[in-house]
Structure 1
Amino acid sequence: MQAVMTVEAIKAAEQHWAQRQGGETWSLMLKAGQAVARHARRHWPSAHRVLILAGRGNNGGDGYVAATELLSAGLAVDVLAPAGEPRSGSDAQRAQQRFQQRNGTLVDRFDAQQPWDLIIDAGLGTGHQGVLKAPWPALFEQVRALQVPVLAVDVPSGLDASTGQADGAALPATRTLSFIACKPGLLTGDGPGLVGLLLLDSLGVEADAEPFGHFLDDAPAWPPRPANGHKGRFGQVAVLGGAPGFTGAGLLAARAALAAGAGRVVWHTDGSGVQAALATQPELMTAAPDASAQGTLVLGPGLGLGSAADSLYQRYLNPETQGVLDADGLTWLSQQTQIPVMPHWVLTPHPGEAGRLLGCDSAAIQADRCRAALALAERYQSVVVLKGAGSVVAWNGELRFVHPGTAAMATPGMGDTLAGLIAALMAQGQSPDQAAQTGAWWHAYLAWQLAQHQRVVLATDVIAAIARADQYSG
């Protein structure tokens, strides 16, 4: 588990490090640039001609240092500074002068005919916010057209390292080498689609501030299954969802709960649901929609908002019950003037549902997904999984970033599957926050693994993979 720090906290850590060095920051830039060169040679050993895009600030300075190191290693290196010279008297200017003193080549334009093997993006770094300004958008369009590997320095240019929002012209990286600590924007929102493979080098700098959150870079453990276990030891899940016309939502949640190891799964459904269960998953138990539900609940997928559904929401959303509230259940919750107390519940909204719960639109949620998730968790005193690229889990002021997943999983029923998976983990004894982290991580990771071999991943594909999860743990 890696600490995730805000951009401001990382800047403060750099300042504290410099103070301990007598106010000198040059050696830190040397470390960063040398790390970039080292990673470039390690991951692209056959690259002989490199183009470095250098901005005017410290990110560009790191690029100039990397250029000098690669030049010394015998590579052909060109540096393009599209926004102009570094600021006078800065470390970046010193790095540029050092590169020129080694007879490094500064080019004045982007030449698409050059046979570059690697492009290093040392353009904008963590200081970027908002819309990219000229000359960057046109340049990045030319770079993308080359289809040459890109190594981003600290953060892909055009990505807001704090929020995960990105300009549409941002430059996607093949790999991103981030420094000191992971930044929130690399792990959620547009970040996962831009960073490529994320690497981290602390540069020997310790950030003393309290982490903003933590990134689960290793697989969370599944609940243990003792050798003498029986189904009665692994809990019960009750799925209340899948009204007529939306039967599949309840069925997917119930099947996911079974695949995740719940001892018994009871799907509260009508006659058509009973037939569907018998045909596709005979291990499921069924009960009438209004029968008393026991165990960990999945409430909302395909349940609707009519009077029958309303009575179920009012009946089960209280401090004594535990479960996962999803889909129609979240819409119902957003319409309530009095907020029910649900300390043992996990809410799993997508950005649109999160917007309804907070009284805003999905664009406002996406503008700062981390803050939105934390606000929802505080408002409802529950655990929140804000779904989407780079899902985040929030509760009681805590924040976790899980596996970023893949666009291949943008298919119907994925949320229903996640709800059933989390509920099964809760039924087996994991706390709501543990179950949310474990479920969200594995849900994204398994889909990502499947996407290595198929263009589109369906919810039923993930359900099958959940039961075989150990095969995907490499």
Structure 2
Amino acid sequence: MQPVLSVNRVKSVERDWADNHGGSTWPLMTRAGSAVAELACHHWPGLKYVWVLAGRGNNGGDGYIAAARLRAVGVTVTVIAPSGEPKPDTDAYRAWQEYADQGGTLESNLPYDSPDLVIDALIGTGHVGELKANLVDLLNRVRERRAPVLAVDAPSGLNAATGQADLALLKADRTISFIAYKPGLLTGQGPAVCGELVLETLGVEWPSGGFWSDGEAVYLDRALDRPARPGDSHKGQFGGVRVLAGAEGMGGAGLLAARAALAAGAGKVYWHTSPEQAKSALIAQPELMSTELTADYVPDGSIHVLGPGLGQGDTAGALYRRLLLDDHDARGVLDADGLTWLARFPKPVHNWVLTPHPGEAARLLGRSTKDIQSDRCQAAMELSERYQTTVILKGAGSLIAHQGRLYFNHPGDPAMATPGMGDTLAGLIAGLMAQGLGAEEAAKTGAWWHAKLGAQLAQRYRIVLATDLIEAIRLR
């Protein structure tokens, strides 16, 4: 796991580092620019001609250092600086002078030829709002060259704090992030426009304490362990899941959730549904047990999945009241229609994992979907605080929030944008909880494997279905 720092926190860390290293951030800029040049040469071997798009700030300074380093190894470099040279008495100006001392010059417009690589050092983490008209025109013409792009800290046009992107954003093939990952690279539109992420810490150590402005935040960039199964195991050791989902005509959602819980390793899985729909379980997954979905259900010690395809009828309302209002020991995963009931009758739900998509999150917070997507990090943290539980805000780069901690998940793949993926995630998390994982660990582990396995399947299939993913969950 790697720390994620807010944009302002990174600036604070840089100042602290400078205070302890002679008062200058210049060494950090030289390391950053050198890292860009090294990455360019490593991933695009045989480079002969590179464009560097350079702004007037520190991001441009990184670009000038990279340009100087590339020239030193024989690469032809053209620096395009649409706003001119950096301001005097800045690190960026010093970097420009180093480049100029090598005989490097600046261009304000694009050459007519095409490069082997474009290094985007225009804005970095400083982008907020809309791109200026001159930059929009420049980036549009860069895209026409169809050259690969290496973004420095963030693609131009991406808000590195929120993950919102300008329509004219220059999509990157790779993005190198300095000191720590920034939140906007990992959620919202970030995963779709950053390409492969590379972290370069520049040798900076983070101070102790919270990484995020409101607590700890980390990027789950490696596999999380699933529950072990001892050699003398029997099914009774792995808990039970009861899926109360899939009202008449909406059985697919409940069946997917139940199958995912079984694939995750739960010892016993019951699907509460109509007798007619229960027949499908015998065909699709005979290992499942089924029983009728009724309003007088009495909770036991199982983990529950409440909501997928449940509807908003009287039975659904009775189940919500029984599990969420009356039985304070009931626990599990609340998804889909279950979240709609929670929005109607809000209360703290300590024992439940909430799995809203942006529209459901908007209802839970009484805001618009656009507002949720404008700052997904803040929305996830607010949901967790308001409902006092673990929350997974779904979408590209899902976020897990729990007691002031924020986890940025594996980005998954667009091929996973298919029906039933949320139902499968709910069942997977419930299956992990049944085997003894706490809500926070089950949410992190389930969300990570859900996205990772989907991304792996996307290497083979153009479209990944929920049933494909369920089969993959069972594999090691």
Q: Does 1:222 align with 2:226?
A: yes
Residues 256 and 421 in structure 1, CA contact (< 8 A), matched pair in contact too: yes
Which is worse superposed, 188-197 or 63-72?
Answer: 188-197
What's 2:409 paired with? 402
Which is worse superposed, 94-103 or 428-437?
Answer: 94-103
Post-superposition shift, 1:352?
A: 0.4
What's 2:24 paired with? 24
Post-superposition shift, 1:271?
A: 1.9
Q: Partner amino acid for 1:154?
A: D
Residues 3 and 218 in structure 2, CA contact (< 8 A), matched pair in contact too: yes
Q: Does 1:335 align with 2:335?
A: no
What's 1:411 paired with? 418
The residue correspondences of 1:450-469 to structure 2 (distance < 5 A) are: 450-468=457-475
* CA distance in structure 2 between the partners assigned to 1:281 and 1:110 by the alignment: 60
Residues 83 and 108 in structure 2, CA contact (< 8 A), matched pair in contact too: no
What's 1:158 paired with? 157
Post-superposition shift, 1:351?
A: 0.4
Q: Does 1:447 align with 2:454?
A: yes
* CA distance in structure 2 between the partners assigned to 1:145 and 1:225 by the alignment: 54
Post-superposition shift, 1:266?
A: 0.2
What's 1:347 paired with? 354
The residue correspondences of 1:6-405 to structure 2 (distance < 5 A) are: 6-111=6-111, 113-208=112-207, 210-212=210-212, 213-290=217-294, 291-294=297-300, 295-317=302-324, 318-336=327-345, 339-405=346-412
Q: Partner amino acid for 2:166?
A: D
Residues 119 and 148 in structure 1, CA contact (< 8 A), matched pair in contact too: yes
Residues 83 and 135 in structure 1, CA contact (< 8 A), matched pair in contact too: no
Q: Number of aligned residue pairs: give it.
A: 466
Residues 251 and 273 in structure 1, CA contact (< 8 A), matched pair in contact too: no
Post-superposition shift, 1:395?
A: 1.1
List per-residue Cα deviations over 1:305-346 (Å, max 9, x = no partner). 11111000001114201100000010111111xx33421100
* CA distance in structure 1 between the partners assigned to 2:328 and 2:440 by the alignment: 16
Instruction: State the Cα RMSD in Å.
Output: 1.2
Which is worse superposed, 99-108 or 416-425?
Answer: 99-108
Any stretches of 5+ residues in structure 1 without a counterpart? none
Post-superposition shift, 1:70?
A: 0.2
* CA distance in structure 2 between the partners assigned to 1:122 and 1:453 by the alignment: 35
Post-superposition shift, 1:103?
A: 1.4
Q: Partner amino acid for 1:7?
A: V
Q: Secondary structure at the residue paired with 2:370?
A: helix
Post-superposition shift, 1:407?
A: 1.2
* CA distance in structure 2 between the partners assigned to 1:464 and 1:41 by the alignment: 40
Identity percentage of aligned residues? 57
* CA distance in structure 2 between the partners assigned to 1:38 and 1:340 by the alignment: 53
List per-residue Cα deviations over 1:194-244 (Å, max 9, x = no partner). 111111111111232521101111111000111111111111110001011
Post-superposition shift, 1:293?
A: 4.5
Q: Partner amino acid for 1:375?
A: E
Residues 9 and 207 in structure 1, CA contact (< 8 A), matched pair in contact too: no
Residues 77 and 105 in structure 1, CA contact (< 8 A), matched pair in contact too: no
Residues 347 and 387 in structure 2, CA contact (< 8 A), matched pair in contact too: yes
* CA distance in structure 2 between the partners assigned to 1:144 and 1:277 by the alignment: 51
* CA distance in structure 2 between the partners assigned to 1:147 and 1:245 by the alignment: 48
Any stretches of 5+ residues in structure 2 without a counterpart? none
* CA distance in structure 1 between the partners assigned to 2:26 and 2:332 by the alignment: 53
Post-superposition shift, 1:25?
A: 2.1
What's 1:429 paired with? 436
List per-residue Cα deviations over 1:387-431 (Å, max 9, x = no partner). 001000001111111101111111111000000000000000000
Q: Partner amino acid for 2:248?
A: P
Structure 1 runs (4+) greater than 4 angstroms displaced: none
Q: TM-score, with normalisation over the residues of structure 2?
A: 0.96
Residues 252 and 413 in structure 1, CA contact (< 8 A), matched pair in contact too: yes
Q: TM-score, with normalisation over the residues of structure 1?
A: 0.96
* CA distance in structure 2 between the partners assigned to 1:179 and 1:116 by the alignment: 25
* CA distance in structure 1 between the partners assigned to 2:460 and 2:116 by the alignment: 27
Q: Secondary structure at the residue paired with 2:338?
A: helix
Post-superposition shift, 1:126?
A: 1.0
* CA distance in structure 2 between the partners assigned to 1:196 and 1:160 by the alignment: 15
Q: Partner amino acid for 1:285?
A: M
Q: Secondary structure at the residue paired with 2:161?
A: coil
Post-superposition shift, 1:185?
A: 0.9
Post-superposition shift, 1:110?
A: 1.5
Residues 10 and 207 in structure 1, CA contact (< 8 A), matched pair in contact too: no
* Cα pair distance change 1:66/1:279, threshold 3 Å: same
Post-superposition shift, 1:72?
A: 0.2
Residues 238 and 266 in structure 1, CA contact (< 8 A), matched pair in contact too: yes
